[in-house]
Amino acid sequence: MSHLTSLFSSTDRVALITGGGTGLGFWMAETWVKNGGKVYITGRREAKLQEAVAKLDTIAAGKAFYFVGDVASQDGVDKLLREFTALETLLDVLVNNAGTTEYDVPAPGAPLAAFDQGAWGRQMNLHVWSPAAVTSAFAPLLIVAAKRGEGRGNVINISSVTEDLWNASSKLTGVAFQSNSDAQQTKVTVHLAYSASKAAEGALTNILANKLVKHGVRVNTIKPGTFPSELNDINDPTSSSARAAEIVPMRRNGGADDLAGAFLFLATRAGAYTTGQRISIDGGSQNTCVHDMACQVSGSSGGNRSDNIVAIARVIDRPDDIADPQAWGPRDLQTSSRTVCAYLIVGHRQLFVQQELQAKAPGSGFRFLPGIETPLTLVGRRPARLSDRNLRLDTPTGSSSHALTLHHRHISPVVDDIQLSRISRSLTSMLRPRQTSASKHPTEHRNDSHVLDGVPGMMVSVLTRTFSSVSEYLADKCQLICVPESCVKLRLVMAKDSRFCSKERAQSSMSLAANLFDATGRIAVITGGGTGLGFWMAEAWVKNGGKVYITGRREETLKAAVDKLNIISNGNAFCIPADVSNQAEIDKLAKELSGREKAIDVLVNNAGTGAYDVQNPDAPLPAFDSAAWVRQFTVNSWAPAAVTSALAPLLIEAAKKGEGRGSVILIGSIAEEFWFSSYAGLGYSLSKVAENALTKTLANKLISHGVRVNTIKPGTFPSAMNDASNPAAGSHPDQVKRNVPMKRNGNQDDITAIFLYFATKASAYVTGQDISVDGGWTLVANGRD
């Protein structure tokens, strides 16, 4: 078994997943059996459970079983425990996934909804009481598993990113726009009870983790963003999954692989030193300006609208989205032989949008026809018309900027092969083959790519397969047109290049650890990579097929490290001496890397420094050394910002390839969460607070370019900075015994597992997150002195 598969393997491990018959629960069950594990799923609908187990048996026969029951009642929990213990003596992984949701009802004329007590009670019961009750019932079996070590005996609560979204108009907290076509009246409905229950579930994770860590049982939370499921129906135009391209900064829904990466990390040996943590898998929704349309559009358009722009995406759904259409409408509508723009008008507010645009931007070229649910408007230079029983493309006249509007009111929510073939033939009738620039022969062209007649550069992929396979069909065909996995009823979004086109399939997944966490063909740069955690990460990278550049101030140390790495994987390790606290040397590093590589897949800002504050006798506070503080803030927070800025072009180039490439990882510290009075490294702690805040800022700034930014916060890992022979160091055996609930230091596998998660395809839908790998120290640190 390889290093990779051994870290993330589920072989010979038993999992129980509530709500495992459909959606995210089924995806996790599928991931578990694919990677060697045995799974029990539970739910209320036996037919769904039978269907799920039948599918799982096609992957690994005899590895999947089900129990029918309702975990929303104590009787149901007790029944589940009895049935499980009749078959098993231990439980390696418990996933509390069962969930529900109900809209809060708006109160006419009131600032808040009329909160239904029954709806709140049902959601609090299933999302908070049930995970607590199930975990309590199965705790003895989890403890038995935990005694076997290697990360066994762990609980994963499936919460939601909505626990962190409190914007009053947050679309991800359940805002649904519903309009009357005559009066254009709108009502807003919000999942406030759902969000509150999920926030409570997150708090429950910390409480359970604290109570169970002394028994070796780990408890963590996964917080999904927009994932298609029964609760988040992609065929419901008001659901977040149907509007992912509009409301998620990464412009797509989460898929099975996105969930599988976090699930395998937490459920296996890879997460053995991690407890009490919450991972948001949300395409950047929690951290970024998801409610700011200006931010979203700037990412889609790429800024410069002259010369080589092929298409621009624009989403309109709220009044403030079009507050000043004069600022962008007429200018975007100026077409030339090298520019064509596209607008996606979505939601139920189109008639309102139409009136606003016509009133505020007369003569801008916008044209709408009433009654259209989700039209695609292409602004080109030539009129065209096509008709089909299920499709109509009309061209308004009377404007120099002609608009082509796609109507599909009569297309069913699930488009079948016959309808798609009609659409394909209709589109083909008005499109001519586009000769590719890479063709060796003048007559050669791609069968699936066409160009609007008379509009150079517009590429359209003709859909010729079933609706459920659209994302799969386009997975490796995204060029200049992006069809997000959330596309419903042929909802298309244009983009300047492929960085907004998901290369992952939303619902068809490999979910194998060997694929999810693979570094083959990828290039990493690790600052401070010659020793300690930096070297461990470099070693893991080359072991798993990657190429690495390590940097540091001491050339001899770097050369010795490279020699060791090249014994593992000859020719895949290199060093570039550089002091990242110096701008001139950062510039030199960037120049040398740019001369060697066209793209950098992973940047790890690992270089760091620390100093203890000097305590004055009889003084209530230490004497804070100014030079020491400046040095720590320079290396621990300024340097990561400066290095990331210098290498951003290489990271952005990598991100265009998709699959999680273009990843920045900052190595922070759990010290940022310490405020107990005896802690003697206040300057260090505050510099790490600044570094983690930097992560959020960089993630927000770079997401429009496809680059992800996350932080790893190690606890006690022996290193040159954390010398285990120093009685004052956190890694000293006496300190570990006193402070760390797991009673041990972190090891190489503990740090490389989270590194591989953030650095690869496994976390392609994750940005702006910070994960502590600390043996539970932060759960108890501030409650003692």
Q: How confident is the model at residue 382 (pLDDT cuts 50, 70, 90)?
A: very low
229-244 pLDDT per residue, tens = 887 877 777 777 777 7
Domains 3-281 and 517-783 share a fold: yes
β-strands 376-380, 402-407 pairing = antiparallel
Q: Check: CB of residue 40 under 8 Å from CB of residue 14.
A: yes
Which residue from 463, 478, 375 is spatially nearest to 419, judged by alpha carbons? 463
Look up residue 220 and give its amino acid: N
Give the angle subtended at the CA of 607 by the CAs of 664 and 542, to the nearest 5°: 60
What confidence score (pLDDT) does residue 244 get? 78
Q: How confident is the model at residue 371 (pLDDT cuts 50, 70, 90)?
A: very low
Q: How confident is the model at residue 731 (pLDDT cuts 50, 70, 90)?
A: confident
Give counts: helices (H), strands (E), the chain: 24, 29
The 10 Å CB-count burial string (b at 16+, else e) for 469-492 is bbbebbbeebbbbbbbbbbbbbbb
What confidence score (pLDDT) does residue 340 get? 25
β-strands 105-106, 93-96 pairing = unpaired
Q: Under DSSP, is residue 27 helix (H, G, I), strand (E, B) or coil?
A: helix
In sequence order, what are the beta bridge partners of 605? 666
What does pTM read for this prediction? 0.73
CA torsion 679→682→685→687, rounded to 10°? Answer: -170
| Higher pLDDT pick, 333 / 139 | 139
Least confident of 57-61, 466-470, 516-520: 466-470
The Cα–Cα gap between 487 and 502 comes to 12
111-125 pLDDT per residue, tens = 666 677 888 899 999
Least confident of 110-114, 573-577, 732-736, 747-751: 110-114
Q: Under DSSP, is residue 541 helix (H, G, I), strand (E, B) or coil?
A: helix
288-303 pLDDT per residue, tens = 543 333 223 222 222 2
In sequence order, what are the beta bridge partners of 576? 551
Give the angle subtended at the CA of 522 by the CAs of 520 and 523, to the nearest 5°: 135
DSSP string, 140-168: HHHHHHHTT-TT-SEEEEE--GGGG---T
β-strands 113-114, 105-106 pairing = antiparallel
Which residue from 237, 248, 302 is spatially nearest to 764, judged by alpha carbons? 248
Look up residue 638 and give its amino acid: W
In sequence order, what are the beta bridge partners of 433? 450
Average pLDDT over residues 240-254: 81
Give the angle subtended at the CA of 705 by the CAs of 702 and 711, to the nearest 5°: 35
Least confident of 269-278, 298-307, 317-326, 627-636: 298-307
Q: How confident is the model at residue 258 (pLDDT cuts 50, 70, 90)?
A: very high
Q: Is the pLDDT of residue 319 over 60?
A: no
Q: How confident is the model at residue 2 (pLDDT cuts 50, 70, 90)?
A: low
| Higher pLDDT pick, 675 / 627 | 627
Q: Is the pLDDT of residue 531 over 70?
A: yes
Q: Check: CB of residue 242 under 8 Å from CB of residue 235.
A: yes
Measured between its terminal Cα atoms, the distance across the chain in Å is: 44
What confidence score (pLDDT) does residue 421 get? 42
What confidence score (pLDDT) does residue 779 get? 87
Q: Is the pLDDT of residue 766 over 90?
A: yes
The Cα–Cα gap between 697 and 706 comes to 15
Q: How confident is the model at residue 106 (pLDDT cuts 50, 70, 90)?
A: low
Alpha helices in 305-393 (DSSP H): 329-332, 350-360
The Cα–Cα gap between 172 and 189 comes to 11
Q: Check: CB of residue 544 under 8 Å from CB of residue 518.
A: yes
Q: How confident is the model at residue 169 (pLDDT cuts 50, 70, 90)?
A: very low
Q: Is the pLDDT of residue 191 over 90?
A: no
Homologous superfamily of the 3-281 domain (CATH): NAD(P)-binding Rossmann-like Domain (3.40.50.720)
Q: Is the pLDDT of residue 347 over 70?
A: no
SS3 content of the chain, % helix, strand, coil (to 5): 40, 15, 45
β-strands 523-527, 547-552 pairing = parallel
β-strands 186-188, 177-179 pairing = antiparallel
Residue tagged 């966490």 (tokens) = 517
Residue tagged 């607590």 (tokens) = 132
| Higher pLDDT pick, 120 / 548 | 548
Longest dimension (CA), the chain: 88
The Cα–Cα gap between 29 and 12 comes to 14
What confidence score (pLDDT) does residue 246 get? 72
| Higher pLDDT pick, 276 / 352 | 276
Q: What percent of the chain has pLDDT over 70?
A: 65
Calculate helix-pair angle for 639-655, 583-596, nearest 10 degrees. Answer: 20
Domain boundaries in the chain? Answer: 3-281, 293-500, 517-783
Task: Please give the helix or strand (H or E) that residue 64 lies within, else none.
Answer: strand 64-68
DSSP string, 154-221: EEEEE--GGGG---TT-GGGT--EEE-TTT--EEE---HHHHHHHHHHHHHHHHHHHHHGGGT-EEEE
DSSP string, 576-593: EE--TTSHHHHHHHHHHH
Q: Check: CB of residue 419 under 8 Å from CB of residue 411.
A: yes
The Cα–Cα gap between 581 and 586 comes to 8
Q: How confident is the model at residue 375 (pLDDT cuts 50, 70, 90)?
A: very low
CATH 3.50.50.60: does it fit domain 517-783? no
Q: What six digits make up the tokens of 222?
A: 């996964």
Q: What is residue 636's DSSP assignment? A: I
What confidence score (pLDDT) does residue 778 get? 87
Average pLDDT over residues 335-349: 28
What confidence score (pLDDT) does residue 64 get? 98
The Cα–Cα gap between 13 and 145 comes to 9
β-strands 38-43, 14-18 pairing = parallel
The Cα–Cα gap between 220 and 155 comes to 6
What confidence score (pLDDT) does residue 470 get? 30
HSE-CB of 444 using CA atoms within 13 angstroms: 6
- For residue 507, CA distances in Å to 26, 157, 469, 478 come to 11, 22, 9, 17
List CB contacts of 333: < 8 A, sequence separation 6 or more. Answer: 341, 364, 365, 366, 379, 401
Looking at mean pLDDT, say which of 133-137, 165-169, 179-183, 414-418 comes out highest.
Answer: 133-137
